[in-house]
Chains A and B, each alone.
Chain A
């Protein structure tokens, strides 16, 4: 609601479910949960899934650096070439990929904006398997909107958001969209 022009989309009724301060609090909580679960950041590799997951991963890495008092860098894991729907859509451009550290024997925390069908995470797990053998893989998402199509769940969730399939969840971040916020668009709200 900070910017009415962006709040109203072509489809009409957009509802704000998280504002910038909610997102900030959720990311801070997720950061502490990751550190608590893994007893520090020593063996943790943060990998964001492009595009918004990468920005979220960078924010979590910054918070983690502050808590741990050392520089922690998040990576980017492009899963385009592992998608199961490549043939159904026009050719996608690849996103840039950056693996900050050897992942063998480490705990990899995948970070994405919205967890929906679980297919993106399936692709990410396949991709990780070709990059090395992590000791464990955990998943952090800003929003879990349900409707899973695969047996996948998140370890760290910013907000559980029950939605109908008619609705669209839109995550906006300062880095890509000029503002922070999570909106639900469409449906019968």
Chain B
């Protein structure tokens, strides 16, 4: 298993399936009378959020707490970052506090990578969304949700529609789902497909209507107005007509197909309110699956011994216990 989770592309098929299988067990915890496991007792997880987030931060916080880890929430607003503190100094502060894992969301692509490889902190780094780059735990929870509804993802057809250019969710899914054997089609207006998309392991299309009849899952992406510094499409109305999922389009999907959205939704823009609330929609389920998947990621990255020889405490403790028991 890898030490950090920075990109969905770092996961081998075995790693990804291990996360999904573990998440399956974690999901059962939610239905228990006591929704808590002692597994990560004494470990500290820092949620380092430089960008606004509702569900990802809450989801990571719930996941860490259900595993009994201590959680420190840090958001850039109201912290020394607004006084001009750098990522490095923030990371050194967290290291001094003994963070075992840092869950980081940052408006710059690559910030988690920098954090993981600059040796500022010894903890595991989990990318919770960086700029327009990646959001691997979202891709894992999407894959998990699909697997629960569709079975093994091998050969399943997934259509991802909308603002691919600004979407870290689309990037992570485009890397993870082919690893698991699914066939991904990205549908977007030409202006919203990134440069170099021809080298991704996916198909692309400019027309939503072409692939609906064969899709096993349709994932609608949010139109990220806050990142749009340009006129990417003529009008919201035209975008909605051509790339929005309305009831007529939903009815053309096969009977078993599911409708997904990573949230937050622009109802009436990329997805019609009736579709979002229909029985096909698994959008609310994606949120509850998110907690299970993040528990699985935290468990797999944090529960075992660290191979890092620099961490001498653990080794010493191990010897002590074995002597005591012999």
Contacts and interface: CB of A to CB of B under 8 A. Distances in A.
B299 interface: yes
Nearest to B36: A130
Nearest to A131: B32
A82 B37 contact: yes
Contact of A86 (B34, B304, B317): B304
A105 B122 CA distance: 46
B322 to A, nearest CB: 9
Nearest to A117: B325
Nearest to B300: A91
A130 B34 contact: yes
Contacts of A82: 37-39
B303 A87 contact: yes
A96 interface: yes
B25 interface: yes
A44 B179 CA distance: 45
Contacts of B18: 93
B32 to A, nearest CB: 6
A91 B34 contact: no
B21 A93 contact: yes
Contact of A88 (B1, B34, B37, B305): B305
Contacts of A95: 25
B264 interface: no
Contacts of A132: 33
A130 B321 contact: no
Contacts, number: 63
Interface residues of B, number: 28
A85 B305 CA distance: 9
Given A130-B36, A131-B33, A149-B325, A90 B305 contact: yes
A101 to B, nearest CB: 14
B28 interface: yes
Instruction: Indicate the member of B37, B38, B326 with the most A CB atoms within 10 Å.
Output: B38
Nearest to A126: B38
Interface in A104-156: 117, 126, 129-132, 149
B22 interface: yes
B194 interface: no
Contacts of A90: 304-305, 307
A89 B318 CA distance: 9
A91 B304 contact: yes
Instruction: Indicate the member of A86, A129, A165 with the most B CB atoms within 10 Å.
Output: A86
Contacts of A93: 18, 21-22
A15 B307 CA distance: 36
Contact of B37 (A81, A87, A92, A165): A81
A78 B1 CA distance: 21
A184 interface: no
Nearest to A85: B321
A129 B299 CA distance: 21
Contacts of B22: 93-94
Nearest to A147: B325
A16 interface: no
A165 B325 CA distance: 11
A88 B318 contact: yes
Contacts of A86: 39, 303-304
Interface string B17-55: 010011011001000111011110000000000000000
A145 to B, nearest CB: 14
Interface string B68-93: 00000000000000000000000000
B190 to A, nearest CB: 44
A88 B39 CA distance: 13
A157 to B, nearest CB: 22
Interface string B131-148: 000000000000000000
B299 A81 contact: yes
Contacts of A173: none
A81 B33 contact: no
A131 B35 CA distance: 9
Contacts of B38: 81-82, 126
Q: Which 8 A-B pairs have the closest CB atoms?
A: A91-B304, A81-B39, A130-B34, A94-B25, A88-B318, A90-B304, A81-B37, A86-B303
21 contacts: A78-B25, A81-B38, A82-B38, A85-B321, A87-B303, A87-B304, A87-B305, A87-B317, A88-B318, A89-B304, A89-B305, A91-B300, A91-B301, A91-B304, A93-B21, A94-B22, A126-B38, A130-B32, A130-B36, A131-B34, A149-B325
Interface of B: 1, 18, 21-22, 24-25, 28, 32-34, 36-39, 67, 299-301, 303-305, 307, 314, 317-318, 321, 325-326
Given A78-B25, A91-B303, A130-B36, 8 more contacts: A81-B37, A81-B38, A90-B305, A92-B303, A93-B18, A94-B25, A96-B25, A131-B32
